[in-house]
Each structure stands twice: as C-alpha cells, then as structure tokens.
Structure 1
C-alpha cells in the first residue's frame, strides 16, 4: 500500500514537471525529482527535506564530495555520486554555449555569464585571465592560479605575462568564492588595483573583474570598482 502511494506521488510530480517546468518547483521538490532516479521505492520527499536541511542549499549540496554527502545524509554511494556530478554537468552545459572563435564579450553581463560558465560551483578558489582582442572577441581564458577553499594567490606579473602571450588588447579577471559570498574582499580589491596599474603601463585595459559564487556573479565594473583601481 505504501509503495503504491509513493508511486502515485512520483507520477504526479513527473506530470507536474512536464506541464509546468522546473521553475515552478521549490528546491526540495527538484531534489526529490532527481532522487527518483537513484533511490527507488522509498519516500524521497522526506529524504530531500533532510538533505536540504543538512546542506542548506542545492548549491552547497552539489559542490560537495560524494563521501561527505554519504556521511551527512546516509544515502547510498551511488545516489551521492549522482548528486555530486550535477554541478559539473551544469558547468559543461554552460561552457558549451561559448564558441571561442565567435564569442564577443562586450558587456559586464557577457563577462559575468562567461565567468559563471568557468567557475560555477567550484570547490576551490580559481583565478582566470580572460583575454580579448581589439573587437572584444575572446582570444583565450587561462587558469593562472589554483588555491584552497578560501584563497587563490595571484601575482600581477603572471597576469601581465598571460595577457602578452595572448596578444590581448584588454582582459577580464575572474575568480570564485567557494563559500558563496559575492562581496569582494580587501585582498580582491588590492590585487585588482595592482594588476590594473601594471597592465595600464603596457596599454592593456582591465575591463572588469568578476567574482563568482555558486552560479551568481559580482561585477567590479558594474559597481564602479574598476575606475577606483585606476586612480
């Protein structure tokens, strides 16, 4: 009897997804729908609520290691791997939208979306230099520093060398905050100022610095911080 109730609930949730789409679902309902495919014949509604309560959000869940998910939720290893792989699937789907030969990054919105495709849900702090030609077309995006869960140290010299190697007319800086906070730190402001001044000396413009947290971004240019770095 209980199994029939679960099957009826699963069928109704799937039908709702087909009719209304994912945007109509709360986080725990989306997670429950995912769990249908790795946890058969159990009440995944209760499990989904418990997992969200434990991790706080889908983004924190999907950026976790499978072994941590198993330890905190007591679900199977197969289910934990299925959940942990979601962030990489999303990141690759996003990056697939950008064709290097055709991509033009002419606004902070373009820069933010491109940076999200590189850095969304990363567990460790990474720093990219995105090189553009004189028409703001993408030349290359280079990972120039990999750090810990809360810091990726970057020398201005490395950024300058990268920009020169790519023959860039301008660049965009991008790094992520794995903790989910978009606000730039004092170190972010200081390093951006040093890099901007170093590149100005060789006539390469820093157009923006994008901070990514989960799948959201903060633009230095939109918030007037790039202009402050030039002063």
Structure 2
C-alpha cells in the first residue's frame, strides 16, 4: 500500500471511530490530528499534532494561541492557524446561543454562569457591560475592551456610553482573570466604585461585577461589595440568591 492510500485509510478509520463513539475517548493528540484532517489534505497530521502539543503545552494552549503564533511557533499555514484558533470562539458562540435571545439574569448564580460563558477560550483579559431591561432580561452583552494577558484598562465613559446606547435599566459588569486568580484586585474594586458613581446620575444601577477565572466566578453582590449601593438604592429580587 502506498503512503497516500495508507493516510486515506487511516483517516477513514478515525472518522469511523468518531461516528461510532464521538470524541469523548480521543486523546488530545488524536483530537488535534482529527481536526487537522479538514485543513491538511493528504498528509499525516499525527506528527503535527504532537509538535503542537509539545510547543504549546496543552490542548487549550494550542487552541487559545493567536493565529500568528500558531504559524510562527507551530509551523502551521494560515488556513490551519485560522481554523484552530476559531474553535474556542465557535464553542463560546454555541454556549451563548443556548441561553436564548433574552435570558433573565435574575440571580448572581445566573449572572456568574453567563459571564463564564462570555469568557470561554479567552487567553487575554476582556471587560463586558451586560445591559439589562427592567425585568433583568438581557438586552446586549457589550464587549467594551480587550486587554493583554493580564491587563484590561476600563474607562467609565465607555461603560456609560455602552449602557446608554443599549437603553439599559441596569448593568452587570464582568471581566476575567486569565492568570487564574479569582479574587478581585484593589483596582477591580476601585473601578467598580468609579463606574457606579458615573452611572448613578443617569439612574442606571450596577447590579453586580462578576470576575471569572476558568469556570469559576466571584460575585461582588454575593460578597456584599456593593452593600452601600444596596442600602441606598435597594436592588430588586435579583440578588436574593
């Protein structure tokens, strides 16, 4: 059997395995090998999969790498790099779609889980203003800033503009800590207070600030870090549990 037929037969066996059992039992290198089938014609992709895992350390390291880094360090073509780097964003869009068009974020648990969805597959810090109507239903989750791996400066004016442009009655602030530290920083507490003060004159309430690390989240409201706001302007049933 020549090399081309060997690769063709191997690919079909892998595809047949997927059709029988899905991807649950695929090892990381097998999954990468399988994915690369669809942008690498008639070539062995197993070696490429092993090289990517060695270079980036893990499956999530590969998928979260920017396209230019996949090309530079992983030796991939532009098509391969675009395909792999788009997968986390596709997964995030899929999870967002499962919430429906206008989910009601009426507890810190729902708000936290929604924020975790927004942050999926993001290796850098991002900041969202989640705009809600009077029934705490989602109007729009506005991505207002993308930062470096550990920094995302946020300006109150940008938050105010986002809230006004979407006619928000209230907002939830949300950002991630890609480094894995769940607790808010001093800067996080400070910017939350500044944003609340900026929104108060236009009668838009900050219901919460969610900090996401991986699949975990920290809620300012749950931990009573918005307590002075709750005392002066009682929050609806939203954050009772």
Q: Same fold (TM over 0.5)?
A: yes
Aligned to 2:94: 93
Say if 1:27 and 1:201 are closer, same or farther in 2 by CA, change over 3 A.
Answer: farther
1:182–1:218 CA contact under 8 A, matched in 2: no
- 2:234 corresponds in structure 1 to none
The alpha-carbon distance between structure 1 residues 122 and 7, as it changes in their structure 2 partners (threshold 3 A), is: same
| TM-score, length-scaled by structure 1 | 0.76
Equivalent residue, structure 2, for 1:219: 218
Offset at 1:131? 1.8
- Tell me by how many angstroms 1:69 deviates: 0.9
* Alpha carbons 1:176, 1:212 under 8 Å: kept: yes
Contact 2:150 2:179 in 1 (8 A): no
54 and 133 in structure 1: CA distance in 2 versus 1, 3 angstrom threshold? same
* Cα distance, 1:51 vs structure 2: 0.6
Asked if the contact 2:208–2:226 (Cα under 8 Å) also holds between the matched residues in 1, the reply is no
What is the CA-CA distance between 1:21 and the residue it aligns to?
Answer: 1.8
Which structure 2 segments of 5+ residues have no match? Answer: 229-241
TM-score for the superposition, normalised by structure 2: 0.74
CA distance in 1, matches of 2:120, 2:15: 27
Name the counterpart of 1:29. 30
The answer to which of 140-149 and 44-53 deviates more is: 140-149
State the shift of 1:176 in Å. 3.0
- Partner of residue 14, structure 1: 15
Query: Quick one: distance in 2 between partners of 1:154 and 1:75?
Result: 35
Residue of structure 2 in register with 1:48 after alignment? 49
| 2:227 equivalent among 221, 226, 230 | 230
Task: From the superposition, tell whether residues 65 and 41 of structure 1 become closer, same or farther in structure 2 (CA, over 3 Å).
Answer: same
**1:127 alignment partner, SS class:** strand
Alpha-carbon separation, structure 2, partners of 1:23 and 1:182: 29
Instruction: Please tell me whether the aligned partners of residues 170 and 206 of structure 2 are also in contact (alpha carbons under 8 angstroms).
Output: yes
Structure 1 residues 219 and 28: alpha-carbon distance in aligned structure 2, compared to 1, 3 A threshold: farther
Number of residue pairs the alignment of both structures matches: 226
Work out whether residues 193 and 230 of structure 1, in 8 Å CA contact, stay in contact via their aligned partners in 2: no
Gaps of 5+ in 1: none
1:131 lines up with 2:128 in the alignment: no
1:33-64 Cα shifts (integer Å, max 9, x gaps):
10111223333223212212211233332232
Give the secondary structure class of the aligned counterpart of 2:190.
Answer: helix
1 CA distance for matches of 2:28 and 2:108? Answer: 28
Using the alignment, how far apart are the partners of 1:82 and 1:189 within structure 2? Answer: 38
Distance 1:16 1:213, change over 3 A: farther
Secondary structure in structure 2 of the residue aligned to 1:130: strand
Matched ranges for 1:43-82 at <5 A: 43-82=44-83
Which deviations, in whole Å up to 9, do the C-alpha atoms of 1:118-156 show, x marking residues without a partner?
443345433111122232111232233343342222244
Residues in 2 aligned to 1:117 and 1:48: alpha-carbon distance in whole angstroms: 27
Looking at structure 2, the residues matched to 57 and 219 of structure 1 have their Cα atoms a distance apart, in angstroms, of 26
Q: What's the counterpart of residue 110 of structure 1?
A: 110
Give the drift of 1:81. 2.3
